[in-house]
Amino acid sequence: MRPLPRIWIILLCLFAVNGFAQNKTADSSSGNRVQLKTVHIIQYNFFKDSLRFREEYDKEMNFRRAKWYEVYRGMSVDINKLYHVTQIKKNRKKANFRKMLLNKEQEMFVSNVYTPTLVNKVTQLEGDSLQRFMQQYNPGYAFVKNATTYDLYEQIKKYYQDFTKPKGSLNGSH
């Protein structure tokens, strides 16, 4: 038996797809409508999210390595505290994880204040140049925490002046 030429196979596929598409449109117009549930969109609240983050990682955030002097109770030794004190590698990992969580929380705070909308409002940058600007000139947590809105605007303007400076010019050549 000879194989079907390619053109016949293509025509058969097109006929099948066309028939399938017609059946789909007939089914969708038959009146069987699906009612979707209502979705309520709430505004993002950094402080609620931060509290939820703290509650979720409460044990890790409040980690404190046991001290050697806490092992002794009068004339006896607390075996559990002795065990926890001697777990140096585990304690170091927990302390590093706690630092990482605190840094993440600080980054979330900075990104909540230093937003693309704010930077766009001050610099009029958009798209890739806005993203590059925000990555290159990101204010620190201590500055954002203590800065007023005016201070933040001024800092963004300074960053923008530095961002728009020509980078290829040689200093001192006239």
Give the residue from 60, 143, 48, 130 showing the smallest Cα distance to 98.
60
Quick: pLDDT tens for 120-147: 999 999 999 999 999 999 899 999 999 9
What are the helix (H) ranges across 64-170?
79-86, 88-113, 116-123, 127-136, 141-146, 149-164
Domain chopping of the chain, boundaries = 44-105, 114-165
Q: How far apart are CA 45 and CA 13, in angstroms?
A: 53
pLDDT for position 20: 55
pLDDT in tens, 66-84: 776 777 777 777 777 777 7
As given in the structure block, the two tokens for residue 65 are 């390595």
CA 82, 86, 90 angle in degrees (round to 5)? 125
Residues 87-109: tens digit of each pLDDT:
778 888 888 888 998 898 899 88
Statement: residue 162 has pLDDT above 70: yes
What is d(CA 127, CA 116) in angstroms, rounded to the nearest whole number? 10
